[in-house]
Amino acid sequence: MDFKALLSFLKNLSKNNNKAWFDTHKKEYDTLRKQWVEFVAQTIEQTGNFDQDIAMLEPKNCIFRINRDVRFSNDKSPYKNNFGMSLSKGGKKAEFCGYYLHVQPGACFLAGGAYMPMPDKLAAIRQEIDYNLDEFLAIINHKSFKKHFGSLSGEKLQRPPKGYDTDNPAIALIKHKSFLAEYKIIDQDLLDEDFPQKMMEVFKAMQPLNEFLNRAISEV
């Protein structure tokens, strides 16, 4: 994947987010899109070595269209200014946790876990944490998790959710509305030859979190 060319294209697109410019640069986009599909296929294969739920995915089910849905947005810019890859059981439209790479000039990151799960899935995750607190703490306090992510991130409630007391030993975690492992990267990281290997290191560190959360989600 020519990340230098991709970053340059996305920078120019953000400055010229209109159909006339995009049509003029469609050949450039098509080349980058083809490279992206190949890169995603390689990432699926590598991730599948330690997470079997990913091994059988197809790239087309893990990447996003460049076109924005502007029907309900005040921002009518027709194109996204990023490339994204989401690897999770069932593909990007499934509600399972997985592995995400976001490529946007000046705002790149890797992430895993559950982002704003639906109420039934959120309730199941909270219950799983409540019932298996020691196991969950072992995951988020593991040296590899802490090295790469520092701590569990995600928006939280101010007060305990219904059905949970303030003195519950898991209450600080139960208040979460998202359960995320986030790893920020700079544009230069993408240009390093060892970026794919580094990404796999980060994905491996978030795999136990995904496995725990998906276990809860599967029970719904």
Label residue 95 by pLDDT band (50, 70, 90). confident
Label residue 219 by pLDDT band (50, 70, 90). confident
> What is the number of domains present in the chain?
1
Question: Which ranges constitute the DSSP H helices of the chain?
Answer: 3-15, 19-24, 26-48, 52-55, 119-131, 133-140, 143-149, 171-174, 187-191, 195-218
pLDDT digits (tens, 9 = 90+) for 156-212: 999 999 889 998 999 999 999 999 999 999 999 999 999 999 999 999 999 999 999
What's the whole-number mean pLDDT along residues 141-170? 93
CA distance 79 to 89: 27
Instruction: Judge contact between 125 and 217, C-beta under 8 A.
Output: yes
pLDDT digits (tens, 9 = 90+) for 28-67: 999 999 999 999 999 999 999 999 999 999 999 999 999 8
Q: Given this model, what pLDDT does residue 93 score?
A: 80
pLDDT, averaged across the chain: 93
Q: Given this model, what pLDDT does residue 94 score?
A: 81
pTM tops 0.85? yes
Q: 74 pLDDT exceeds 80?
A: no
State which residues form the domain around 179: 3-218
Domain with residue 161: its CATH number is: 3.30.930
